[in-house]
């Protein structure tokens, strides 16, 4: 699967607009090349370089199979149409942008999309990344990712 954003390319620096130093809105994300039989998608954004261990920035699940992108500034609501959002490690629903500690150099932010063979994970809105990963692990047909970088001096 291919995951991309018109706002930055894989491996590039994430524009400040999408971070805690800017507007802290989600970047537009699109995916393609998923297998036939896909019934839903999951999007997870995390930072494995955080000092406390992997830090979750965004959890989106039960994305219908006919939805192949999320627009910029996706609403920070538990549910948008049929799309559900979970709790990030900031303790909030929806997207929380990169906000690494100053002086730690670049952190990597992985935007991971999973194609699933089920329409719903059967979780209520506001689930954790761990709950979503546990429910989806036996339903993954394909996955793809892109990575952006960000640092604060």
Concatenating the DSSP letter of every residue in 69-138 gives EE-TT---SSEETTEEE-B-TTSSBS-----PPTTS--EEEEEEEEEESSS-----TT--HHHHHHHHTT
pLDDT range class, residue 73, cuts 50, 70, 90: very high
Question: What integer pLDDT is reported at residue 110 of this predicted model?
Answer: 98
How high is the pLDDT of residue 153? 87
**Average model confidence (pLDDT) across the chain:** 97
Looking at residue 104, what is its pLDDT?
87
> What letter would DSSP give residue 6?
S
Interval 103-114 mean pLDDT: 96
Structural domain boundaries of the chain?
Answer: 2-150
Per residue in 5-64, pLDDT (tens digit) is: 999 999 999 999 999 999 999 999 999 999 999 999 999 999 999 999 999 999 999 999
Bridge partners of 56, per DSSP, are 46
Predicted pLDDT at 100: 95
Angle at 127 (CA atoms; ends 124, 131), nearest 5 degrees: 110
Spell out the residues 6+ positions from residue 20 whose beta carbon is closer than 8 angstroms to its own.
96, 97, 98, 99
The yes/no answer on whether domain 2-150 falls in CATH 3.50.50.60 is: no
Question: How far apart (Å, rounded) are the C-alpha atoms in residues 147 and 80?
Answer: 25
Share of the chain above pLDDT 70, in %: 100
| pLDDT of residue 95 exceeding 90 | yes
4 token code pair = 């991309």
């Amino acid at each position: 699967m291919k995951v991309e954003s018109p706002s930055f390319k894989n491996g590039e620096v994430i524009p400040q607009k999408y971070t805690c130093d800017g507007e802290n809105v989600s970047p537009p994300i699109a995916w393609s090349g998923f297998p036939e039989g896909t019934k839903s998608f999951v999007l997870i954004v995390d930072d494995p370089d955080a000092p406390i261990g992997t830090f979750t920035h965004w959890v989106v699940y039960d994305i219908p199979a006919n939805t192949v992108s999320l627009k910029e500034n996706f609403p920070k609501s538990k549910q948008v149409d049929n799309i559900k959002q979970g709790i990030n490690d900031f303790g909030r629903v929806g997207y929380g942008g990169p906000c690494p500690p100053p002086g730690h150099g670049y952190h990597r932010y992985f935007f991971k999309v999973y194609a699933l063979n089920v329409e719903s994970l059967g979780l209520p809105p506001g689930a954790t990344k761990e709950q979503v990963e546990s429910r989806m692990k036996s339903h993954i047909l394909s996955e793809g990712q892109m990575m952006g970088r960000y640092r604060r001096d």
